[in-house]
Amino acid sequence: MESQEHHFSHTVTDFPGGEKSFVEIPFHVGPEIERIEVSYLFPAGSGGSVIDLGIAHEGRMRGWTGSEYGHITIAADRATPGYHPGPLAGRWDVVLGIVKIGPDCRVDVTIRLIPRSTRWLTGDIHSHTEHSDGGVPVGDAIHRARTARLDFVALTDHNTTAQNRVRPDDPGMLVIPGMELTSYWGHTNFLGVADPVEDWRCRRPEDVAERMAEARANGATIVINHPFQRSAGGKWQCGLDLDFDAIEIWNGPWSPLNADALRFWQELLTAGRIVPATGGSDFHLKNRRRHGRPSNRLLACGEAVADVLEAIRAGRNVVCFGPETTTAEPLDRTAAFGERVPAGAPYAVRFSGLAAGDEVRVVTEKGTVDATRVEPGQTEIIKEGRVDGRFARFEVWHGEEPRLFTNPFYAA
């Protein structure tokens, strides 16, 4: 059962220190909370009062915005401009700066503590900025991701982490730090760490494995990118006997390199490997791609960077053509995508946002074992069955163009 939201309201009419003083309103945040929201108002009837707002954590200020904002938020990885994201558990104080006390001065303060909860989030984990060859500033990249209606975006510039030093003043977009290790023997994304390796240079294939091990030791989530890219350096040439978390099977517009990656992933699954699949736009301004084409629609147990990356590692991911397009979701009491289930376990998956001519496929180690064509006027289908082999996963196609790929249910 998920925790309940905590909501506290305070009305302050007593200002014992008078003007040029501070009033503190204490509250406690437990480990289950993922976001703090504070709203305040000193009504016009307060006779020209001026009250400033800030917030302190364990006795140290975590932000101050004077009387500029009436509502602020703080979470682990993002916050209203003027405030520092970071750890939330512990003692907090809403800090009111008493600038001017008018007749009948009153300050209404509301504190909301939002608990962690499971939800679907959609985002892009492979994109570039002007800090390598992406062609746009960090702020532009974040704006493009927001315009695409994404919840998160990773900035994965080639062999640099300078983009991770730019503060994204947009609490509505979760920005994941990253770097694309770009070697002569393939590319791989390091996600979730501002500086995953000390020196990215790889002079031999074995160095790629060493950099991956270093990034793993520093806490990075590792995704092998476009393994069949049609370039000498872009194609993955380091094998899969390495410590990585997922493989990118859909990079930008659908193309032969993606079809090769899909076939390769199917071969790995058929051989008994558990390998989560991802997608990414690989946005560069010069390639005219759009953020979120394709997208990763993840079942995350929270809204922090760590929650998104945990969902990627677990395979709770549907790689979709884009946000707000065709989706797939296990129904109640069905395991999440990417999970192990008992052999023969039943499943029920709802496909939404379908169009006439789409084909919903069930894929196992035997290949496509079932296909349902969507009829005119039909926008939703529920597929039910059992995991009778090593795995069962799902695809939606429209002619030669894919709409989505789910990660599998794996038979235990």
Query: What are the residue ranges spanned by the domains of the chain?
Result: 6-114, 119-325, 326-412
- What is the CATH architecture assignment of 119-325? Alpha-Beta Barrel (3.20)
d(CA 225, CA 233): 12
Phi, psi of 64 (to 5 degrees): -155, 130
Name the fold adopted by 326-412: Immunoglobulin-like (2.60.40)
CATH 3.90.25.10 fits domain 6-114 = no
CB neighbour list of residue 104: distance below 8 Å, 6 or more residues apart:
45, 46, 47
d(CA 304, CA 243): 24
- The pLDDT tens digits along the chain (412 residues) read 456 789 999 999 999 999 999 999 999 999 999 999 999 999 765 678 999 999 999 999 999 999 999 999 999 999 999 999 999 999 999 999 999 999 889 999 999 999 999 999 999 999 999 999 999 999 999 999 999 999 999 999 999 999 999 987 788 899 999 999 999 999 999 999 999 999 999 999 999 999 999 999 999 999 999 999 999 899 999 999 999 999 999 999 999 999 999 999 999 999 999 999 999 999 999 999 999 999 999 999 999 999 999 999 999 999 999 998 999 999 988 999 999 999 999 999 999 999 999 999 999 999 999 999 999 999 999 999 999 999 999 999 999 999 999 999 999 9
Helix (H, G, I), strand (E, B) or coil at 215: helix
Contact indicator for 320, 294 with CB cutoff of 8 Å? yes
Tokens for 124, please give them: 């892009």
**Interval 51-102: pLDDT, tens:** 999 999 999 999 999 999 999 999 999 999 999 999 999 999 999 999 999 9
